[in-house]
Amino acid sequence: MKIKDIEVGNLFLAPMAGVSDVGFRKVCKMFGADLTYVEMINANALLHENRHTKKLLETADNENIKVVQIFGHDPLILAKAVQSPLLEKFDIIDINFGCPAPKIVKNGDGSALLKHLDTIASICKSCTSATKKPVTAKIRIGFDADENIAAEVAKICEENGISAITVHGRTRAQMYSGTVDYETIKKVKQSVSIPVIGNGDVVDAESYKKMLDTGVDGVMIGRGALGRPWIFAELKGKNVEDKFEAIKCHVDTLRKYYTDEELCITLRKHFLWYIRDIPGAAKYRLMLATTKNLDESLNILKEVYLSKH
């Protein structure tokens, strides 16, 4: 598939706030993710070029196509953000119209914009006019529980210059509960000529096939990759070996940008995800949740993986 003039594969890692760090993205790329997205960045923060934002924008050496997701609700600010020098190295810029998090919605960002389609049109037009790079968008199928406006929003995005659209097959009201609406994703694909990427509940070969059966051009994996960056290799029919070395690569990459003290806290959730599905690992959860030493955490994970894999 092509996003504007950029040729890409069809299996993507979702931009997840607090999750899609540079180390995790590097590992997902190693296992076959065709495209990895930097977690969503506040457009206002981009304009202020603060230290934290700069760290979030670090990219891995194997991210051959660099994608960043930004969010906001002011078309002028978003257009300026698209032109930020901090985004110069990125090949594709994605706009978030789908985040359901309360603090994002409260500010009128993310999925809150699904209640203001004129604003979505203005944002798309202002951003695509501000850069020659491909601008893409991510949406949900609606805001309220009984709302289904995905095809309409997709058409608005396409008419205003968006080069590809990702559809998470739930409403904002659903958050991450209930089932993905495959039929709506299929209708979105049929309603536009730009590439459509399906997102939601892809966790194994069966759910991957279900998503592909909607006719989408690409599949985006979010929660299905938590603690399982090797899911991309598994879906491509490749053998996965030495998972602990991948975890160590995740940590070593982040050590270039953060102190061990910082990482002990921020990586804890990743460590717990890494042992979530391993039989007999319950006794290690408390150890990982309480240790304040990064090397000790790695030793615990090494013991788990060497004994179980």
Shared-domain flag, residues 139 and 286: no
> According to the model, what pLDDT value does residue 308 have?
59
Shared-domain flag, residues 227 and 253: no
Contact 72, 45 (CB under 8 A): no
Shared-domain flag, residues 142 and 197: yes
Shared-domain flag, residues 38 and 136: yes
pLDDT surpassing 70 at residue 309: no
Provide mean pLDDT across the span 147-170: 98
Q: Which of 28, 64, 27 is nearest to 232 (CA)?
A: 28
pLDDT surpassing 80 at residue 297: yes
Shared-domain flag, residues 154 and 265: no
Q: Is 264 designated active site?
A: no
Domain closes at, from 235, 252, 287: 235
- For residue 118, give every residue at least 6 positions away whose Cβ sits within 8 Å of its Cβ, in sequence order, or none: none
Shared-domain flag, residues 201 and 184: yes
Domain closes at, from 235, 255, 281: 235
Calpha distance 100→253 (Å, rounded): 29
Overall domain count for the chain: 2
Give residue-wise pLDDT tens across range 14-49.
999 999 999 999 999 999 999 999 999 999 999 999
Shared-domain flag, residues 37 and 174: yes
Here the CATH number for the domain that contains residue 268 is 1.10.1200
Helix (H, G, I), strand (E, B) or coil at 56: helix
Give residue-wise pLDDT tens across range 182-228.
999 999 999 999 999 999 999 999 999 999 999 999 999 999 999 99
Here the CATH number for the domain that contains residue 20 is 3.20.20.70
Residue appearing with tokens 């939601």: 200
Residue appearing with tokens 């457009």: 43
With bands split at pLDDT 50, 70 and 90, how would you rate the model's confidence at 4?
very high
> According to the model, what pLDDT value does residue 282 have?
83
Residue 148 to residues 105, 115, 195, 232, 272: CA-CA distances in angstroms? 18, 11, 20, 30, 35
For residue 173, give both structure tokens.
């009201």
Domain closes at, from 172, 207, 235: 235
pLDDT surpassing 90 at residue 281: no
Contact 267, 251 (CB under 8 A): yes
Say which amino acid occupies 233. A
Shared-domain flag, residues 277 and 157: no
Shared-domain flag, residues 253 and 114: no
State the catalytic residue, choosing from 99, 124, 127, 264: 99
pTM: 0.95
Shared-domain flag, residues 277 and 159: no
Q: Domain range spanning residue 76?
A: 2-235
Shared-domain flag, residues 182 and 301: no
> Which H helix or E strand runs over 278?
none
